[in-house]
């Protein structure tokens, strides 16, 4: 392989890597916006995402027809795609302000769970419910999505049979929410 050909493969590999990385990042942003039900913005982002995807596809195919496909091009595409997904997940987590409504149903350990969550700064509202097996104390917590894994792992340690349900909240105002009180 000549030095010019090596440089061409390197340049194309970098171009493909960066292009697919950008396409996947834009796709992640589109998905975040779509989940937030922002129809116009989702459509605009989707337009640019598809234009980039089509440009990449045409460029890669035309280059493969002229120069032949090689392992470096395939690896660059795959690495750009994978890194785009990884960076997209990081961005999603950073920009996500998702607030969850969590209900915890524990027959035998609701008091221990309630006390622990309060000691860790979670706001807990309790109410009585009744079901197939009788009365039960329901614990209701509002928290950021990022704090949910901590909450759930504690509940599972105390009562592996506890039922935990979550719902995403929109349009919240007032009240106490773990780790975001000062932002409301």
pLDDT digits over 104-127, tens only?
A: 999 889 999 999 888 888 888 999
* DSSP-derived secondary structure letter, 177: -
Whether residue 104 sits in one domain with residue 86: no
CA atoms within 13 Å, Cβ hemisphere of 177 = 23
Instruction: Identify whether the C-beta of residue 101 lies closer than 8 Å to the C-beta of residue 44.
Output: no
pLDDT of 177: 60
| Angle formed by the axes of helices 71-95 and 39-67, nearest 10° | 170
Closest CA to 172 of 147, 148, 142: 142
Q: Which of 95, 126, 156 is the last residue of a domain?
A: 95
- Whether 88 and 123 map to the same domain: the answer is no
Q: Domain range for residue 152? A: 99-183
- The 8-class DSSP code of residue 174 comes to S
Q: Give per-residue pLDDT as tens, 9-40.
A: 888 889 889 989 999 999 988 988 887 788 99
Q: Are 103 and 164 in contact (CB under 8 A)?
A: yes
Model confidence over 53-96: pLDDT tens digits? 898 888 877 877 787 778 888 899 899 999 999 998 888 777 76
* Boundary-marking domain end, from 49, 77, 95: 95
pLDDT digits (tens, 9 = 90+) for 128-182: 988 888 889 999 998 888 788 888 998 999 999 999 999 877 666 666 665 554 4
The CA distance from 32 to 60, in Å, is 28
Half-sphere exposure of 176 (CA within 13 A, CB side): 9
What does residue 116 show for φ and ψ, rounded to 5 degrees?
-65, -50
């Amino acid at each position: 392989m000549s030095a010019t050909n090596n440089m061409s493969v390197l340049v194309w590999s970098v171009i493909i890597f960066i292009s697919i990385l950008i396409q996947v990042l834009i796709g992640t942003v589109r998905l975040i916006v779509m989940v937030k039900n922002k129809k116009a913005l989702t459509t605009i982002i989707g337009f640019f995402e598809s234009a980039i995807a089509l440009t990449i596809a045409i460029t890669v195919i035309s280059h493969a027809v002229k120069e032949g496909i090689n392992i470096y091009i395939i690896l660059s595409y795959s690495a750009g795609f994978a890194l785009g997904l990884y960076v997209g997940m990081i961005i999603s987590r950073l920009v996500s302000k998702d607030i969850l409504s969590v209900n915890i149903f524990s027959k035998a350990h609701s008091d221990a769970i309630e006390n622990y969550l309060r000691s860790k700064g979670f706001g807990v509202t309790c109410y009585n419910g009744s079901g197939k097996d009788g009365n039960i104390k329901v614990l209701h917590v509002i928290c950021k999505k990022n704090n949910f894994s901590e909450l759930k792992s504690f509940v599972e340690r105390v009562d592996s049979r506890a039922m935990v349900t979550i719902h995403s909240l929109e349009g919240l105002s007032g009240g106490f929410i773990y780790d975001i009180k000062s932002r409301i």
